Structure formats: C-alpha cells, structure tokens
Amino acid sequence: MVRVVVLGAGISGHTCAAFLKKKLGKKHEVVVISPAQYYQWIPSNIWVGIGKMSIDQVRFKLKPVYDRWKIDFRQAKATAIYPEGCAELGSPCVAIEYTSKARKGDTELVGYDYLVNATGPKLDFSATEGLGPDKHTVSVCSCDHAAHAWEQLQQCFARMRQGEHLRFLIGTGHATATCQGAAFEYALNIAHTIKKLGLQEQADITWISNEYELGDFGMGGAFIKRGGYVIPIKVFSESIFAEYGIKWIKRAGVNKIEKGMAYYETLDGDQKSEPFDFAMLIPPFSGVDLKAYDKNGLDISSNLFAPNGFMKVDADYSAKDFEDWSVDDWPSTYQNPDYPNIFAAGIAFAPPHMISKPLRSPNGTLITPAPPRTGMPSGVIGKVIALNIVGMIKHGRKEFRHKASMGKMGAACIISAGYGMLKGNAATMTVFPIVPDWKKYPEWGRDLSYTIGEAGLAGHWVKLFLHYMFIHKAKGYPFWWLIPE
C-alpha cells in the first residue's frame, strides 16, 4: 500500500486529495493534514464581508467529507519535512502538530511515499506595521476576517446615517502584495452597498495599489477585446471605478498603518499618507514557515524552499534579467527537482520570477504585485499533480502525461458587485495564457480570442452559479468530478 500525504485542504489541496482517492481507491492511502477543520470557498468571502452571506454558507467541515471518501484527515499543521527519512520511522516523513481541541499541541511524525505541499500562503500582516484585523485594518482573506470586516462596515454605515462623512480605503497593504482582484471586488461591493443605502454623498472611496496601472493584477496587465476593439485592461478597470465613483492611487507601496492613516511610498520615491475611517488592505503572502531536514538532521530548508518560503519545483530559478525570462521558465509538473516524490500545488509553489515588471523607487523599494496563483490555477494544478502521482503509483510512469504551466493555462476573474438574481453587476475578465507568451503572441502577449472583458448582470449570475457549483464539487456530491476546475 502506498501512502500519499497532502498538506493543506484549500482549493488546490482538497482538489488534489479528491482526485487521488477517486483514482487510487481502497488499495492505497490518502492522508490530508490541515490546521483548519473547515474547507472555505474563498472567492465568496467578499459576500460575507458585505453581509450577504454567512460564514457557514462559504465553508463546511472537512472530516465528514473525508470520512465519506475514506481519506485519513488529521487536523494539524505541518512543521517540518524529512525527505530523506527520520530516525524514528526510517522513511520520509513530515512532522505535525495537532490543532484540534481534542489533541491540541500533540506532535507526531507521519510517514509518506509521496508528499504534496498545498499549504497555501501565510498571511504576512507583520510585513507592514499596523496592518491586520488585530490592528488598524480589516481583511477578507478568510471567512472569519470577512465576518469581522462586515461588523466594522456596519458601524460605519450607522455613523453615516447619523450624518458623518467617512473615508474608505481599499487595496493592497504592502509594496509586493498580490490578490488585487479580491480587493477590487470588495471596493465595488462597498460602493454598491453605500449607493443602495442612499449614503453615497457621505462617502469617499479610494483604491490604493502597488500596480503600475489599474488592472495589472500581478499579471503585467493585459490587452482585451471588447466590443470589437482591443483596449488595455487599464481602460476597462478605470471605467468601472469611475462608474462607481471610486478614486485611485496606484504605484504605491504601503509601509505603515496607524489608526486612521496609511503611509506609503510612491514609485517616484515620495513619502505620502492617506487618511481613512475604514480600510481593507490585502497583506503580502509568504510560505508557512515549513522547515526541511536531511537524514543527519541538518537544515536543508534553503534547498527545498525559496527565500519567501514557497517550495521550489520544476521551474528555472536561475538569475536572469526580467527581459530575459520566458514563458518556458515556468513550471508544468510542480515536482521538486531534488526529491521526485514531493510536489507543491497552488500558492505553495515558488514562482520563478515576477509576471509584472519589477519596478523600484529611487529609494530601492520594490513596488510590484507578486504573481497570482489563486482560484482556477490552484485547482488545475492540484488535479494535475494528483493524476501524475496516480500514474507513478499505478503504472510506474516517470514521464508525466499531465501538465499545467501557467504559460499555457487560462484564467477567469469575475468581479461582482451586489447580490441576488435581479440586482447586481459584474466585470468579467478572462486571460489566456496567465503568463504572457510573447513568442507565440508577439503583438499582445496573449490570445485575444480568449482574453476579453465584459460588464453586466450576466457575469453576476455566473458568479452566483459558480459559488453553488464549486461548493457542490468540494463536498463531493454526485458527479463532482465532471465539474471543471
């Protein structure tokens, strides 16, 4: 019997574990290790953050699902990997610390034949002084954070009803933060809700971001086809913000937060500040502080992980100028080069370079979004890793049939405002590929047949449909495997 251990039960890890068990059946063991007892459909946290969905509408307990699937679930966090084996077990293993109430603080070594690191990101609020839900800003990065944001937002609405004029600041809380799409969507939902309440005259909403232009999203922006014309996504994004009355600050690296004030450095090197009464700023992401040790107990973390804590895979990590990178330098199998039985899925893998051009201020501050790997790419990568591991176990394959380079993969982003079937709006953007391929598409970097942007109620319907469809898939309801990632 072969044992496959999956670290993490987010979109990528949960998808990977589901396909592993479906394909491997009872003959082999699948173990999922995650510090949380819940699966969260993170894209719907925005609706929690504006009070349109409850926490329990975007999450469910993992254990009942894994019990049904016959997956061994352990609510614990991984602390170290021993890829060459540990003395106690004599085989490759991972050290874990339980987080469940029943076994909180207990430690254990779990052996594995194959390991999938799908731990996702550490929300590194500490990278910016004063950032985070326990300090001066709110977050929508988890459903608990989003529920707290809604509590704070309701207090703001109450003050506005009493005649106060409030300032809302939404965007990125660090010079290299990513996940601009979530912040963009939250800004639109706040604007939509304020207008619905008839309080728009008592609110100033400002977007602040490290993007060089609006709509960069860490992908270097894009050119999109809309209405028969090719336009930069910058124009599309600016038109949406203008429609909602949202002002914007771009090329800004937030470096300090105090109560009611955000301080930032511009790409020009100027130090500025922006006041606020309510701020939702996305933190930077880093790896989850996993360590790695060789058979002699020596720390080999730098061999397995990049300096940011994300795991090295089959990418080209050599030093190159940004202009010399190509789409071929991106990973396609997500296999660790030193240990072929270890893979990294979703946000846990280390990108080889920025997709957006890295730009520094005269002070040397890097002000550029990190590459996005959330949502659709994470699910696809998780599935591909599962299928390749199955091929290794059942057929002894060394050459992988399934690949998922972000340079050959598309993605869709639906930024919805409002809620319900009859009221709402959405900006729908698709790009193909995620990483621009300037050799194949020398004029635009992407295939404009699949790189488009549209706005309207139809996209909002799609967003609602996707919520229920992916919850159905994640719960393993009938024919879940037919729903694409």
Q: What is the pLDDT of residues 93-113, one digit of tens each?
A: 999 999 999 999 999 999 999
Strands 166-172 and 203-208: parallel
Other CB atoms closer than 10 Å to residue 13's CB: what's the count?
27
Would you say residue 422 has pLDDT above 70?
Answer: no
Would you say residue 60 has pLDDT above 70?
Answer: yes
Euclidean distance between CA atoms 481 and 4, whole angstroms: 20
Can you give the pLDDT at residue 150? 98
pLDDT tens-digit map of 387-406: 999 999 998 888 899 999 99
Residues above pLDDT 70, as percent of the chain: 98
Would you say residue 453 has pLDDT above 90?
Answer: no
Mean model confidence pLDDT for the chain:
94
Q: Residue ranges of the domains in the chain?
A: 3-123+286-395
Would you say residue 184 has pLDDT above 90?
Answer: yes
> How confident is the model over 427-444, as a mean pLDDT?
90
Q: Which fold has domain 3-123+286-395?
A: FAD/NAD(P)-binding domain (3.50.50)
Euclidean distance between CA atoms 186 and 184, whole angstroms: 6
* Contacts with 101 (C-beta within 8 Å, 6 or more apart), sequence order: none
The model's confidence at residue 375, banded by pLDDT at 50, 70 and 90, is confident
The model's confidence at residue 428, banded by pLDDT at 50, 70 and 90, is confident
For residue 461, count CB atoms less than 10 angstroms from its CB and return exposed for 0-12, middle for 13-18, buried for 19 or more.
middle
Euclidean distance between CA atoms 202 and 204, whole angstroms: 7
Would you say residue 457 has pLDDT above 70?
Answer: no
Can you give the pLDDT at residue 413? 78
The model's confidence at residue 194, banded by pLDDT at 50, 70 and 90, is very high
- Closest listed residue to residue 2, CA positions, set 115, 166, 140: 115
Instruction: Classify residue 372 by its DSSP letter.
Output: P
Angle value at C-alpha 63, between 61 and 64, nearest 5 degrees: 85
Would you say residue 219 has pLDDT above 80?
Answer: yes
Euclidean distance between CA atoms 264 and 367, whole angstroms: 11
pLDDT tens-digit map of 257-297: 999 999 999 999 999 999 999 999 999 999 999 999 999 99
* Contacts with 385 (C-beta within 8 Å, 6 or more apart), sequence order: 16, 116, 333, 334, 343, 345
Would you say residue 424 has pLDDT above 70?
Answer: no
The model's confidence at residue 227, banded by pLDDT at 50, 70 and 90, is confident
Element holding 427 (H helix, E strand): strand 425-431
Length of the chain: 485
- Closest listed residue to residue 485, CA positions, set 390, 407, 392, 410: 410
Least trusted range by pLDDT, from 183-187, 293-297, 417-421: 417-421
pLDDT tens-digit map of 123-172: 999 999 999 999 999 999 999 999 999 999 999 999 999 999 999 999 99
Least trusted range by pLDDT, from 117-131, 243-257, 450-464: 450-464
